């Protein structure tokens, strides 16, 4: 059976930095209040003209360059996002021509904060089956255009940022699991009964009306995301712990075998609690949420790029990732860089 490996990563965030102090000028909040609850100090927001596929394009180009391949080698494109350029078609179809690609499958993944790891699982399965050889996987989001930036929406609005991260995943032969770069395994889960604990109600066909959205829905703020923060926090810690331990057990590994932990960046307190529960040394957990906020499907590949630049992620490093998000969905993966 074939195996797959990550051979290059890239990222892009908008130039515009929005600090907590900036937010305090448009809503009733403070820098200390935001940091205490989330660990976030600043985030990046786009200008009005930029689209999600625009962010993805730059991240993808960097990933392709770092992978040392020609883009013509890519035979499948996977795009994880919950903030597409348009309702339809899928965002991968908008990104494909911007990359100068044609004919290859262009697939969207709608698994929110777990989207990148779901995408990694899809890419790994495609490659192991022999169907594709070189897959481009990108996670990108523009949240800033869909947030309630008033005091009413601050609990959610202060958490999210815009950005993109991408990886190139390619077929490989593994002769030595202790040395060769490859994806060991991925583990995916969901519990849809909690979907409305973190969601955006409108527009949608499930509103019980004849329209996907009405003026009344807009006046009621149904187009903005809403969250049961306590429920999300508790489930995130528990589920990420569970699926991370499952990944280790599946591969006959121990926590101390892992060189670096790249977790989804939803809330610094979640990652700190996760590390505390599992007794993971602080220096082994790489966080970026302080600078970028929650970029949903982009947080893990952004973390990869930042960790490489910081010298934390090196050739041969054994890495564990876990994510939890709206749906509820959660996932984990172990891979050698």
Output the CA torsion 207→211→215→217 (10° steps).
10
* Whether the Cβ atoms of residue 335 and residue 204 lie closer than 8 Å to each other: no
Identify whether the C-beta of residue 250 lies closer than 8 Å to the C-beta of residue 187.
Answer: yes
- Cα 39 to Cα 269: distance, rounded to the nearest angstrom: 7
DSSP string, 231-292: HHHHHHHHHHHHHHHHHHHHTT--GGG-SEEEE--S-HHHHHHHHHHHT--GGGB---HHHH
How many helices (H) does the chain have, and how many strands (E)?
11, 13
177 token code pair? 């699991």
Query: Phi and psi at residue 172, in whole multiples of 5°?
Result: -150, 160
Asked if the peptide bond before residue 113 counts as cis, ω within 30 degrees of 0, the response is no
Say what the alpha-carbon torsion angle 232, 236, 237, 243 is, to the nearest 10 degrees: 160
Question: Which among 76, 93, 113, 243 is annotated as catalytic?
Answer: 113
Residue 294 appears among annotated catalytic residues: yes
Closest CA to 319 of 308, 309, 329: 308
171 forms beta bridges with 4
Look up 31 and say whether it is catalytic.
Answer: no
- Crossing angle, helix 52-67 and helix 91-98, to 10 degrees? 50
Out of 91, 264, 267, 271, pick the active-site residue: 264
Annotated catalytic, 187? no
Catalytic center residues:
113, 264, 294
């Amino acid at each position: 059976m074939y195996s797959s490996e990550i051979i290059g990563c890239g990222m892009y965030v908008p130039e515009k930095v929005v600090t907590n102090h900036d937010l305090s000028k448009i809503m009733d909040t403070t820098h200390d209040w935001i940091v205490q609850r989330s660990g976030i100090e600043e985030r990046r927001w786009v200008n009005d003209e930029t689209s999600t596929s625009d962010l993805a394009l730059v991240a993808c180009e960097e990933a392709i360059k770092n992978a040392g391949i020609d883009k013509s080698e890519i035979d499948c494109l996977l795009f994880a996002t919950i903030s597409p350029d348009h309702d339809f078609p899928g965002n991968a179809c908008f990104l494909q021509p911007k990359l100068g690609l044609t004919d290859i499958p262009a697939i969207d993944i709608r698994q929110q904060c777990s989207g990148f790891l779901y995408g990694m699982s899809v890419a790994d399965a495609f490659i192991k089956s022999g169907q594709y050889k070189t897959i481009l996987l990108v996670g990108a989001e523009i949240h800033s255009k869909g947030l309630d930036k008033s005091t009413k929406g601050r609990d959610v609005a202060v958490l999210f940022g815009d950005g993109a991260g991408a990886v190139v995943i390619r077929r490989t032969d593994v002769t030595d699991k202790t040395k060769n770069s490859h994806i060991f395994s991925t583990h995916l889960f969901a519990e849809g009964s909690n979907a409305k604990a973190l969601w955006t109600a409108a527009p949608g066909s499930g509103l019980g009306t004849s329209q996907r959205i009405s003026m009344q829905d807009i006046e009621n703020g149904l187009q903005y995301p809403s969250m049961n923060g306590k429920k999300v926090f508790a489930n995130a810690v528990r589920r990420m712990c569970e699926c991370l331990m499952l990944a280790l057990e599946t591969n006959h590994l121990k926590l101390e075998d892992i060189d670096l932990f790249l977790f989804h960046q939803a809330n610094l307190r979640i990652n700190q609690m996760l590390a505390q529960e599992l007794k993971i040394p602080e220096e082994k957990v790489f966080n970026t949420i302080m600078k970028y906020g929650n970029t949903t499907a982009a947080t893990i590949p952004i973390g990869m790029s930042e960790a490489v630049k910081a010298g934390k992620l090196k050739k041969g490093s054994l890495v564990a990732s876990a994510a939890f998000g709206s749906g509820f969905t959660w996932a984990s993966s172990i891979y050698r860089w």
